[in-house]
Structure 1
Amino acid sequence: MTPRTSPTQRALAAGALGLVSATGFAPLGAWPLTIGALAGLLYLLTQARSARQAAALGWWFGFGQFALGLNWIATAFTYQAAMPAWLGWLAVLLLAIYLAVFPAIAAAIAWLASGRRTMPLIFAFAGVWPLTEWVRATLFTGFAWNPLGVAWIGLPTAQAARYVGTYGLSALMVLAGGAVLAAALRKPGTTAAAAVLPLALSLTPTPAARDTGRAIHVVQPNIDQDARNHEDYAYNGLLKLARLSGRPAAGAPARLLFWPEAAVEYYLETDRLAREALTDLLRPADLLVTGGTRLERDDRDNVIGARNSLFVMDARGRLLHRYDKAHLVPYGEYLPMRALLSPIGLSRLVPGDIDFWPGPGPRSFALPGFGKIGVQICYEIIFSGHVVDRANRPDFIFNPSNDAWFGGWGPPQHLAQARLRAIEEGLPVVRATPNGISALIDPAGRLLRTIPTHRAGAIDTTLPAPFAATPFARFGNLLPLVVALALLAIAAIARRSKRG
């Protein structure tokens, strides 16, 4: 791009770079392209003549990244009351329009802080970007899907998440892009300064995980979302889950049986016969951990709400614990402003006539013979720093989910986020889904066992032991905040030294 390039051409280039950057996320995993795309965006920002132009470049970059990276949302929308496909793609574009505001803000602030100089710009952008990701994950209930840092998953650099968290990894991705730009511009000092932190943290060792010897059995029944509309789904689905669960031979060790989110259609708290049927799968020391639904009623016994819940049941049919999902999906589990939107026909955006109600947040429960379990239902697992009860640290996290309506890109992206939570917290993660991707993840984020999408099966293995509490487990998102502020301080020093 030359100084004569028009703003429209630069905007289109930024949008194209955003599209390229999205290929670094699962399922493609082309992380070098993400780094290259960030280098291209940083170069465009050096050519911007005002904060407004910088914001426009950041917005177009973000729009391209989110429009491609979140394409699975189009599929999710079509499951809502048989919405037409075009409406699903409209939802993707509208969401991308909103989410692109955060890269726009990051670009504008970085440009203002840099004095249009390359080194200050790189460090300012690396400092501001994770801050805007944190705001994106928090504002209006938050949407923390696909932070830049998740593109490191599967690489040694991802292990640094135990020290700097996911948002710190996002800063490293921007720095890596800055190092590429500085190298292309033949600025060796800036190249070295930008590259030192990503390179150093890429040397973070991957610890070895120990085994607890505690037997677990994770079931994936391969039930598509459409099957839930059939009248006989509750019964047939339960039969399929039971068949895949089996019953261990006498003398086998006690096992912890995991079923997916909303696996049981019967209301376990009130349906004694359903609980009795499930006890046939359990020997005296076994436990069943399954997703289900809990209804909320008023004084006249009218149903006024529901909970997306997880239940722990023993071999006597007793419900030992219940967890209610706290971070609900807007337009998926509840309709914001229902009183306003329902009269104009937009209640079709969510299934059912009542909303799910949120629970109190992360909780840990003691399971006799199996340690303490922490639960994050479905997309709760994507919120870095908010997945465990820090006052009562669990021994592992269970992430029951229903990714059946997430298209082809959603399930592997969801799995990548779960792997980062394992690294951050130093805890194993168990995932059970109706049709993929179910997995056992060790506390270093390694995939020990998986069941691919659209395949029925079970994971029959033992549970890894947790690591000692990581720095991130102790301090949470305070650590990436320190990283961001340090990078901004370096940007300020670099700008001042250039002036001198």
Structure 2
Amino acid sequence: MALGMLAALGFEPLGLWPLTLMAIAGVIVLLRSAPRRSAAFLLGWLFGWGLFGVSLNWLPTAFTFQAEMPPWLGWIAELGLSGILALFPALAVLAAWSARRQPTALVLALAGCWTITEWLRGWTFTGLPWNPLGAVLVGPFESVGAARLLPWLGTYALSGLAVLFAGLWFLGLSGFRQSRYWLALLAVPLVAQFWPQTRSSEGAAPVGVPYVLVQPNIAQTELNNPAQFESNFEKLAHYVPPPMAGRGAVVLWPESGLSDYLRDGYPQPYYDETYGADPARARARIARLLGPDRLLLSGAVDLEIRDGRVAGARNAITAVDGSGALRASYAKAHLVPFGEYVPLRPLLTALGIARFVPGNIEFWPGPGRRTIDLGRHGKVGMLICYEVIFPGEVTDRAHRSDYLFNPSNDGWYGAWGPPQHLAQARMRAIEEGLPILRSTTTGISAVIDADGRVVQSVPLGTAGVLLGRIPAANPPTLFARLGNVLSLGWAIALLALSLVALRARPE
């Protein structure tokens, strides 16, 4: 467990990735001496519990923004969730245990098994691939470290590479007295992390679409308070330049950016809490703010009406043009359990378990990833909040977009969550070869180029605006064509090499 806690320090915001590799090397040492399968499973589970227990320390913060459950329950939920997620490292360590008698085979087997179990974590029970091990290899804003290999590996295989790097350190140190050449293995992760980056998109023409990206720094306690709706709109509007100063721009606001209902046909009480109790009037003031040739993309909530009553809601992105017309909409497809809906709601509600988001209307999922053609404002793929953490699920492969827009509300996530969220968004940009623009309520908002570098950003806990032109997309990467099949292919290759090592050099 101590090794797992040490490994967690490699994730953002600390980024102490050598400690992660050292900790995994320590797990390999312990695994070699595990006497039984049950001991190997326990070893992996304790390591995973420490890893997730520390790296997900932001989760209890979400419990402080709702009144349905006591805040102390957040720590129980965080430790319980960490224990469940720890089952995946436990399975990886258990599966690799069979190769323990041959060091090289053990390292290869653990790297392959870790890749597969992280892929399983990405979709089992709707999936939670937060903080894949490969995220520790993402460098600082101006670089990307060994994560530059993502187009040829994918996130899950990059996690396997992190295990392989740690295994090289294990082999190098354990072979010190046997052969001085093993020492060269110690340098491999260092070279991979600090090798100068090839900037594939440098010098390429930008998409040409100017952007106005706003971070209003609206506190979570004010975001859903009807008394603050007008003030919140004014904070967002304050950072939008006059129409003549930002002609042709796409204006980007965060998740929960619009408190007004912009669509007609809802029951009147829902309009009464918003601007002027009139959706047409709300659209008109947005049109005045934009001017004739700009377009707003903002997080919003759409209601679903059945038989004249509100039956559900959609967490959506709404596109509003300079005439006040609703040009397009995207509904979030991958909803957050307990954030936007309660699984097994009748049972869990009876036990006093509610969701974090205020209100009792369940959110409904949208149809899934899609590319929306906005004409002069480019072809955009949309992802709301944590949808960006799912490798291979962020683009419509049949209709490639020019860029991705990822509005988010990270005000739930404490101090550690936002930088971890940003690191995973950078991984999606590298994998897909697409720029990503993130507008968040409290930070960290950023413009990420197609190589994963942060071009511009607004720090956590501040208000600001980013102005510029959308970076160019790279040609479709190998991962963009194959998706997670690519990572699984690497996992199979690692396991095959492990079998070869077992046969070639049995102990």
TM over 0.5: yes
Answering whether residue 53 of structure 2 is matched by residue 71 of structure 1, we say no
Structure 2: distance between partners of 1:73 and 1:127: 29
Instruction: Decide which of 449, 456, 476 is 1:442's aligned counterpart.
Output: 449
User: What residue identity is the alignment partner of 1:283?
Assistant: G
Q: How does 1:223-262 map to 2 (within 5 A)?
A: 223-249=218-244, 253-262=247-256
Q: Distance in 1 between matches of 2:320 and 2:371?
A: 16
Amino acid at match of 1:423: I
Contact 2:211 2:249 in 1 (8 A): yes
Distance 1:350 1:439, change over 3 A: closer
Q: Is the 8 A contact 2:45 2:89 kept in 1?
A: yes
In the TM superposition, what whole-angstrom CA distance separates every residue of 1:86-124 from its partner, at most 9, and x where no partner exists? 211111100011000000000000012x04321111000
* Alpha-carbon distance change, 365 to 229 in structure 1, aligned in 2, over 3 angstroms: closer
Letter in 2 for 1:205: T
> 1:279 aligns to what?
287
User: 1:237 and 1:216, CA in 2 relative to 1: closer, same or farther beyond 3 A?
Assistant: same
Distance 1:231 1:376 in 2: 26
2:491 maps to 1:491 = no
Moved more, 23-32 or 342-351: 342-351
Q: Which residue of 1 aligns with 2:28?
A: 42
Letter in 1 for 2:210: A
Paired residue for 1:17?
Answer: 3
Instruction: Pick which of 339-348 and 287-296 moved more.
Output: 339-348
C-alpha distance 123-201 of structure 1, shift in aligned 2 (>3 A) = farther
How far 1:246 moved relative to its partner? 2.8
Partner of 2:128: 143
1:266 aligned residue: 260
Tell me the distance in 2 between the aligned counterparts of 1:480 and 1:163.
Answer: 9
The answer on whether the counterparts of 1:75 and 1:407 sit within 8 Å (CA) in structure 2 is: yes
Structure 1 distance, partners of 2:465, 2:217, is 10
Using the aligned pairs only, state the percent identity: 46
Distance across 2 between alignment mates of 1:197 and 1:78: 40
2:41 to 33, 48, 55: 55
Q: Note the C-alpha offset of 1:228.
A: 2.5
**TM-score under structure 1 length normalisation:** 0.93
User: How far 1:192 moved relative to its partner?
Assistant: 6.6
* One-letter code aligned to 1:433: T
| Structure 1 gap segments, 5+ residues each | 1-14
1:152 aligns with 2:137: yes
**Deviation, structure 1 residue 426:** 0.4
Name the structure 2 match of 1:185: 174
Offset, 1:194: 9.5
**Once the two structures are superposed, what CA deviation does each residue of 1:46-99 show, in whole Å capped at 9, x if it has no partner?**
110111111110000000000000000010122232643321111110001100
Residue in 2 that maps onto 1:380:
387
Question: What are structure 2's unaligned runs of at least 5 residues?
Answer: 265-278
Compared with structure 1, are the counterparts of its residues 191 and 479 closer, same or farther at alpha carbon in structure 2 (3 Å cutoff)? farther
Structure 1 pair 492–333 and aligned structure 2 pair: CA distance change class (3 A): same
Supply the distance in 2 between the matched residues of 1:412 and 1:318 (Cα, whole angstroms): 35
1:354 maps onto 2:379 in alignment: no
Cα distance in 1 between the residues matched to 2:351 and 2:218: 33
- Count of aligned pairs between the two proteins: 483
| Residue 322 of structure 1: how far off its partner (Å) | 0.5
Q: Find the counterpart in structure 2 of residue 297 from structure 1.
A: 305
| Residue type at the aligned position of 1:110 | A
Q: Secondary structure at the match of 1:414?
A: helix
- Aligned-residue Cα RMSD (Å) equals 1.9
The partner residue of 1:339 within 331, 335, 346 is 346
Give the whole-Å Cα distance in 2 for the aligned partners of 1:365 and 1:255: 16
Check whether the contact 1:179–1:192 (CA below 8 A) recurs between aligned residues. no
CA distance in 1, matches of 2:118, 2:224: 37
Where does residue 102 of structure 1 map in the other structure? 88
**Structure 1 position 166 matched with structure 2 position 186:** no
Which letter maps to 2:353? Answer: L
**Letter in structure 1 aligned against 2:171:** A
TM-score, length-scaled by structure 2: 0.92
Tell me how far apart the structure 2 counterparts of residues 201 and 347 of structure 1 sit (CA, whole Å). Answer: 43
| Regions of 4+ moved over 6 Å | 189-198
Asked if structure 2 preserves the Cα contact closer than 8 Å seen for 1:159 and 1:206, the reply is: no
